[in-house]
Amino acid sequence: MTTFPLHTSYDPVAGALAPARSWLTSDAPRIDLAGDWQFRLSPAVPGTPGGHGVLGEESPTAFAGPDYDATGWDTLAVPSHWVLAEDFRHGKPIYTNVQYPFPVDPPFVPDENPTGDYRRSVDVPAAWLESGQVLLRFDGVESHARVWVNGTEVAMFTGSRLAHEVDVTEQLQAGVNTLAVRVVQWSAASYLEDQDQWWLPGIFRDVTLLHRPEGGIEDVWLTADYDPATGVGTILPEVRAAVEAFPVHLRLPELEVDVTWDSPQDVAPVEVGQVSAWSPEEPTLYEATVSGTAETITLRTGFRRVQIDGDRFLVNGRQVTFSGMNRHEVHPDRGRVFDEEFAREDLALMKRHNVNAIRTSHYPPHPRLLDLADELGFWVILECDLETHGFEAGGWVDNPSDDLRWREAYLDRMQRTLERDKNHPSIVMWSLGNESGTGTNLAAMAQWTHGRDATRPVHYEGDYAGEYTDVYSRMYASVPETESIARDDDTSVLGRDITAGDSARQRSKPFLQCEYAHAMGNGPGALDAYRELVDRYPRLHGGFIWEWRDHGLRTRTATGTEYFGYGGDFGEVVHDGNFVMDGMVLSDSTPSPGLLEFAAVEQPILLTPIGDGSAVVRNRRFIADTSDLRVRWSIEHDGRVVTEGETALVDESGAPIPAGGTGSLHLFSELPTARPGTEVTVTLAVELAEQTPWAPAGHVVARAQWQVGAPGTFGGANLPVAGRARTTVVGLGDSPAVLEGPVLTTLAGAAVRGPHVELWRAPTDNDRGTNSTNYDYADPADRTGGVMTPSLADLWTQAGLDRLVRRVVSVTADPASHTVIRRVSAAQSRAAVDVTERWSAQRDADGTVEAVLEVTMTPNTLWRDVWPRLGLHLELPTDVDGAAWFGTGPHDSYPDTATSVRLGRFSAGIDDLTVPYARPQESGHRSGLRELVLQRGGQDWLQVSADADPQGRRPGFTLSRHSAHELASAAHPHELPSPTAHHLYIDAAQHGLGSRACGPDVWPTAMLRPQARTLRLRFRAL
């Protein structure tokens, strides 16, 4: 029934597969086979016992014949995924993180196995068949393909994100030819492709028919070595070609290189003299051509040398710090189908947010992505298409990584990975794969890779003992553990069932976190703590955030409402919910506040004040000095600019500050006079002086801000506000607040409800996480196990924070004040918060009467766990549609994500004050509030002024169309109800964010333990 092994075979390929080779630009003829193909989907694999009868009386392979009548078949674009066809008419996508969506019974898969048959014709010129050979190239097919030409089966292959070239010379004829491909969704290979992403079958990358001329060049590898001591470049060439291809010429016009090799034996290294080295900051590429008697290959090469010196990872003699992202290939409409414009903007967005490195999780991307990485400048860890994570749940029993029956498949994947992409200067490390346990097959991959490419080290995080890899890599190591790894005087065992000797070996290598700071929903927190360690310890080389982009797929509800779907939205039997929505960029390409925080933490220039008008500049760049940068500075009084200027980013001698260097920068000599009590800030923005391929001139790469003459922490709140004359106490009845008994009914002429003390927030994805120990229960530095608890969201609901009730203890009123004492608690709980609300009024010098509210919130001693928030909740009219504020901004911030915000005056519409995460959750808290102006219908309505407490602490605010309870009850934004009120939260404190969805808990200093706090607010009608 079949010529080649079935889809349940261990064999990775069979038939007329050409040797793996580089993805090259050639002048040899080619035919792009993108476009509409005839397509038929079957529920099982024809010709197998489980697929008996799926085609009726039709022969299982009849469709491949030239004379087959495909009338009635659908058409499907190539490249595409059939499960993303319009209206999902060919099935739906499936999302799992770790789980296999089929029984774990390797190498077998269920009979229920969607199978797509593709057909198209192609007109082949007669000249192609007169000499040379013809290859049919597939750049990506998920997951098992069989190929026919004119009815003859020619090949079978697996490796969804890998390139395969099939020799079809003997089967072709001049003129019209019929190509047929059968793609099976589930195969033995699916056990090796359990990456955390959507399962998306189909021919999803390019298909091309290539004429390989006689005397053509089969493969080229130009290793462009750079000697950092002399600046001299050397081309180390490898040319795979028959004797008929010679003489072969190597030309690099910009370097005046023109070399001829008359025979294969003549191919030898070529010293090219002084060159500009390639790096992400200065990605200098030289165009090279390699020409033989029948073909010219064109490629761009960059000169650089990768080395490991003890525990230092060096490129061009300088230590590398990875400010990296894990990047899947995903688009909300096209899935993994490559779009160059989209990819270019994706990488430019990375550059604009100080990302300098990409780990291609967890497979080779489309080859053009790597061209863009070479051009725009990124360090790349190129990862093989391999993950077997689903075996972990069974204790790694039958894991293919340690089963010799899978050896050929493992090696085939690594060989195809390396051979396709070996010419890219951006690739500085090969990775064997991801989360596949350990075993002899992985060691064999490493051995082959070391033998094939001695210029790049080998990475694999799962090699915990360091037996076959060159760098020490971990995922989600906590801050204390990361410091332990970094220290020379620490000999503690690094866990993961390894020995003290293994630990010592790993500490002798460069260390990186291939995944850290899981960016799911609102977060991640504590990025600054990791970067501080990287700057302090040379063994640490940074890491890669998990991950770059949410994987939401655009879909619609039954009533036509569009939204971005995640696991479970497509009827999957098993799925992992919104765990696929864990990116720094939302599905619609909107940068999240987490990405802004990353950009600030990883900024290449640090500025620290020395006096009011000067700063010490530290250049954290790899190689570039500061000659391409300028500094814009301003002095602000209470958030308003009073003077500003611009200067080159140079030291006191006028010289640019070199990479890795420091210098003193003079900004101004004296400060404008400020009234007593004015908050004076100096704000700096480091900008690009000229346009780059990834950002315009004026793009900000770094910021700094400091307060001049800032008061001490304790007692600093009682300074008078600038320009405010002494106020007069007046009757509360003249104020904008109207109270009836214990209830506030009106503010500034509008009906309101509240303020109610609120402890609940809509849980973030990290609040719902249980990945790490609870740092509130055990020392975060304890790596012996810690204390695992339910998620914070569960602890909070168990404590009743989402169902608080209130009891009025007393109401005391007189013409000048109104005092309400309440107790706030939850059913079946003795834990309570005692609340005193005291309302009064005061007349300002301009005659305006303000309502003054002082709220004291005091918990009893029966609270056990941290709180999500401590503050007040006011329900406002639904025409409240925006805000302007003096505080931190422009985006939200929490105790462990405050590096990226600055003090100033900002404004935004209500929809821009929160973040539309794929799963609704807490967002929008803006801390350090001084003054807030709420708008109704675009007009100023109510001003809220917030005083600091005696410790100098200031509240934050959130303005939202939906309450915390409404957000917590919705699984998607479109499920949120139509608002009956808009919601203002003024919080004395908020709990941090952390990254416990798949990483460490909130650091203790960012936790909100139950505590007494006081809020003092003034309300003024506008």
Q: Are strands 232-241 and 217-226 parallel, antiparallel or unpaired?
A: antiparallel
DSSP 3-state of 203: strand
Q: Of 494, 440, 491, 490, which Cα lies nearest the Cα of 467?
A: 440
What's the CA gap between 392 and 387, in Å, rounded? 11
- The lowest-confidence range among 717-731, 793-807, 884-898 is 717-731
- The structure tokens listed for 721 are 């506000």
Does the annotation mark 435 as catalytic?
yes
- pLDDT tens per residue, range 854-890: 999 999 999 999 999 999 999 999 999 999 999 999 9
- Catalogue all structural domains in the chain, each as residue range(s) with its CATH number: 6-212 (2.60.120.260), 218-307 (2.60.40.10), 322-390+419-598 (3.20.20.80), 603-707 (2.60.40.10), 728-878+959-1021 (2.70.98.10)
Q: Reduce the DSSP state of residue 328 to 3 states and report it.
A: coil
Residue (of 779, 764, 760) closest to 1004 by Cα position = 779
Question: What would the pLDDT profile of 263-272 be if each residue is shown by its tens digit?
Answer: 999 999 999 9
At residue 579, does pLDDT exceed 60?
yes
Which pLDDT belongs to residue 727?
Answer: 75
d(CA 662, CA 94): 51
Cα separation, 775 vs 179, in Å, equals 60
What average pLDDT does range 543-566 have in this prediction?
97
Residue with tokens 């109401």: 811
Q: Find where tokens 């003249």 sit.
A: 734
Quote the pTM value: 0.97
d(CA 12, CA 189): 8
Show the tokens assigned to 128.
Answer: 């192609």
pLDDT of residue 32: 98
Is residue 2 predicted with pLDDT exceeding 70?
Answer: no
pLDDT tens-place string over residues 413-439: 999 999 999 999 999 999 999 999 999
The pLDDT value given to residue 726: 58
Count of C-beta atoms within a 10 Å radius of residue 288: 23
Per-residue pLDDT at 1021: 96
Lowest mean pLDDT segment, chosen from 219-223, 687-691, 822-826, 842-846: 842-846
On whether the CB atoms of residues 934 and 747 are closer than 8 A, the answer is no
Residue 505: enclosing H or E segment and its boundaries? helix 500-507
455-467 pLDDT, tens digit per residue, is: 999 999 999 999 9
Look at residue 714 and tell me whether its pLDDT is greater than 60: no
Q: Are 724 and 846 in contact (CB under 8 A)?
A: no
Pair 406, 439: CB distance under 8 Å: no
With 50 as the cut, is the pLDDT of residue 709 above it?
A: yes
Q: How far is the C-alpha of 882 from the C-alpha of 880, rounded, in Å?
A: 6
- Report the alpha-carbon distance of residue 725 to residue 668 in Å, rounded: 31
As given in the structure block, the two tokens for residue 461 are 């995080």
In degrees and rounded to multiples of 5, residue 841 shows phi and psi of -140, 155
Helix (H) or strand (E) holding 598: helix 593-601
Strands (E), 366-497: 379-383, 427-431, 458-459, 472-475
pLDDT for 628 beyond 90? yes
Please give the Cα distance from 565 to 919 (Å, whole number). Answer: 10
Residue 366 contacts residue 338 (beta carbons within 8 Å)? yes
State pLDDT tens for residues 478-504. Answer: 999 999 999 999 999 998 689 999 999
Beta strands in 103-151 (DSSP E): 115-124, 133-138, 141-142, 144-149
The catalytically annotated residue of 193, 295, 387, 515 is: 515
Q: How far is CA 720 from the centre of its chain?
A: 45
Catalytic entry in 218, 435, 547, 875: 435
Average pLDDT over residues 633-645: 97
pLDDT at 454 over 60: yes
Whether the Cβ atoms of residue 613 and residue 643 lie closer than 8 Å to each other:
no
pLDDT band with cut points at 50, 70 and 90 for residue 787? confident
Taking residues 762-784, what's their average pLDDT? 89
Give residue 723's pLDDT: 44
Bridge partners (DSSP) of residue 146 are 156, 182
Q: How far is CA 740 from CA 737, 753, 817, 835, 871, in A?
A: 10, 12, 13, 18, 22
Cα angle 538, 540, 545 (rounded to 5 degrees) comes to: 150
Q: Copy the structure tokens of residue 512.
A: 């990186």
Tokens of 810: 């007393």
Residue 439 DSSP SS3: coil
Average pLDDT of the residues in 546-563: 97
The predicted structure's pLDDT at residue 788: 81
Q: State the pLDDT at residue 4.
A: 86
Rounded Cα gap, residues 625 and 269, in angstroms: 32
Alpha helices per DSSP H over 910-987:
964-969
DSSP notation for 830-861: --EEEEEEEEEEEE-TTS-EEEEEEEEEEE-T
* pLDDT averaged over every residue in the chain: 95
Question: What would the mean pLDDT of 205-224 be, rounded to a whole number?
Answer: 98
411 φ/ψ sector (left φ>0, alpha ψ -120 to 50, else beta): alpha
| Residues whose CB falls within 8 Å of the CB of residue 426, separated by 6 or more in sequence, listed in order | 280, 283, 302, 370, 373, 374, 377, 378, 379, 380
Beta bridge partners of 931: 886, 945
pLDDT at 783: 75
At residue 722 the predicted structure's pLDDT band, cuts being 50, 70 and 90, is very low
Catalytic-residue membership of 256: no
Give the Cα separation of 393 and 546 in Å (integer).
22
Q: What single DSSP character describes residue 567?
A: T
